[in-house]
Chains A and B, each alone.
Chain A
């Protein structure tokens, strides 16, 4: 791969129709996520909101940003960035979510507004 002897620029030009369809889907999903937020679904609200956001972001990345036609190296880099974000959030959350598994004297935990312990 490091021998760059042949110099074709492989360019994938998207169809206008594809771009417009993605745009339409993004607008619809924006409406949908707003509409769902008016419903009382408990913990499902955030799950649906995030699922919609992830699918919107994926569409933007896959089509608008052209990840679909990039090299596997670029795809690997994109995935690595997201995995590292996941590492940061998940491991930090593992601390906050297991702090109260053992008794620790935390006077602020009795805060009626909800403290570090729920």
Chain B
């Protein structure tokens, strides 16, 4: 962060999110615009080669410096999730993004994070990535929120009104009234 010119680069930024299977093949790969120009296939191959032997416990993450970027990653049985940022980025912030992504995905996949399940539920995997980062900007890091949004939970009637507390119910009703008045 020390010598960054320009103002916008001050905001924590994600360069890429990658989900790779046990052989380094892409499950989901998302590179964000303007982050930098790179040969994504070569980068993934190098990243995978350098990290495939890392012994990372379940739920733990590891980190590697690679090609002027820093990548944090977590491993499932045969799947890996990487969050890549510029080498000046705060790796702990990248780690928050990674945790949000992997925890949400694991919960949605029924408690496991492996390549086969990911492929079978590919849209879930894609949407998880989409809910965590928007165009390089961090959108949400809370795994529960991400999981709910991926499932579109709350749509179509949302929470039944009987389950709400009195104040929630009132605020929902006022919301509705304002909305009708505004339109």
User: Do A and B form a real pair?
Assistant: no
Interface residues of A (CB under 8 A from B): none
